[in-house]
Structure 1
């Protein structure tokens, strides 16, 4: 097998985690390993696009609520709702209280059940509420929150793809990326992202730096709790679980940024 280049990994990241027109040149474990390490980069691009949308509306005279809605909508558009759909399916699987095989079967169904609908509703409400609060303070605060939450969401995917986390099914995106990232490399990526989040928060002083860094850390902590529950419940991870982890991390990071 030829050696995987950084370009192969970046194509894998954007080709699988976004709706951007990127052609995936390699689909194997080596490319998945490189791709999942670059996942926060996809979050950075999505976060910048989200912040730009919110800022454009504010510049055109819109209020902070509409800017917040647009900022929350951009990640959904740039992923074709992939992560939101995964969150809903994961909620339906967990809420079913059925054995693992039956729960996984429920998650594969195309419709969304009541647990999924309720979860989507409250998650999106929480995201919009926080972004409205921060945009109401200033565009810069809302923009930084959009970027930090998007990057933290994809960092959660890097950590969930670490070695030792099994797939729940032998096929699908979950099986393709489960366990591909060495633990040390995943922690290194996490350290870089947390430091970068702190640097972004430094625009608002020392407290802002600490709060943004804490938002990234606690976002990954919330995703880790969900990950461990899903592994116990389903026997491993699926593509839907990865989507649920991303949305959980994004929402948790925003909530932390809204406090204090």
Structure 2
């Protein structure tokens, strides 16, 4: 039986990636005053910088901002002005300060799952920013535990499950990222409810995961989560 259900935060409970995409658009406008974007592959170069820096800065708006500053200096060969560097910092601050916007119907979805299962929030990113999002979301009271991790991998999920004294087959994870929310859990022997978001960061979209075990159910939105969990429960019982 599935005893514990985890929920992702960004783009599962609340909107997130759209704000980062808007920040990238604003970044392009600034750097576009110095170089020809059409021949530069700016998004790919910024993504490469962000990936390289994840192990140093972690995930989130602060790491994105530092990577944008580094990329801007590199791409413009240090010609970018201090004024425009300050504009890039302001872009990052706007993402950090953006109000939390819940996905429609997500509170009801979590409440429906919580009627039959213990629920936890497992989200990754900058600790301070994620804590702010959780506090502002109005959802904290629904979760038995809130885990903010630096990376969502098998080791992180094993640690959470060990704290609950559960084996993976008793755990299901709900999220929008195959790479971070679904693949590690299923590879451990757990279950996944995949709820794609309309836009995904390229780093999170980089996954070759394929479910060969029928341990994953896909839903179009929050209204389908509770039924998907029960469907996985039926598969688990079988």
TM-score, L = length of structure 1: 0.27
Higher strand proportion, which one?
2
TM-score, L = length of structure 2: 0.29
